[in-house]
Amino acid sequence: MSNNPRKIRIIDLFFASLRSFFIEIFWNFERMQNLGCLYVLFPIIKRLYPEENKRKQILRQHLEFFNTHPYMAAPLLGIIISLEEEAAFKKDRCPEFISQIKSCMAGPFAALGDSFFWATWRPFTVAIGICIFLLNREKTFIYWVAPCLFLFFYNIVHLIVQNVGMWMGYHLKTQLINVVSKTDWLRIIHLVRLISLCFIGMTLFIVLGNNLLSWNKRVLFFSFFMFFSFLNYRGWSQMKLFYGLIAGSILISYFNLI
Query: What does the pLDDT look like over 214-233, one tens digit per residue?
Result: 666 667 776 777 777 777 76
Please report whether residue 231 resides in a domain: no
pLDDT mean over 78-107 = 85
Q: Determine contact, residues 82/41, Cβ cutoff 8 Å.
A: no
208 falls within a domain: no
Average pLDDT, the chain: 83
Q: Does 60 fall in a domain?
A: yes
Distance CA(235)–CA(224), nearest Å, equals 17
**CA quadruple 129, 130, 136, 139: dihedral sign:** positive
**What total number of domains does the chain contain?**
1
With respect to residue 146, please indicate whether it lies within any of the assigned structural domains: yes
Tens of pLDDT, residues 147-205? 899 999 999 998 999 999 999 999 998 898 888 888 888 888 888 887 887 777 777 66
What's residue 194's pLDDT? 79
Residue 229 inside a domain? The answer is no
**Does residue 198 belong to any structural domain of this protein?**
no
Query: Is-contact 176 81, C-beta < 8 A?
Result: no
Cβ-contact 126, 88 below 8 angstroms: no
* Residue 101 domain-assigned (yes or no): yes
Split at pLDDT 50, 70, 90, the class of 33 is: very high
- pLDDT surpasses 60 at 212: no
Domain with 27 in it: 1-183
- The answer on pLDDT for 92 being more than 70 is no
The verdict on residue 199 lying in a domain is: no
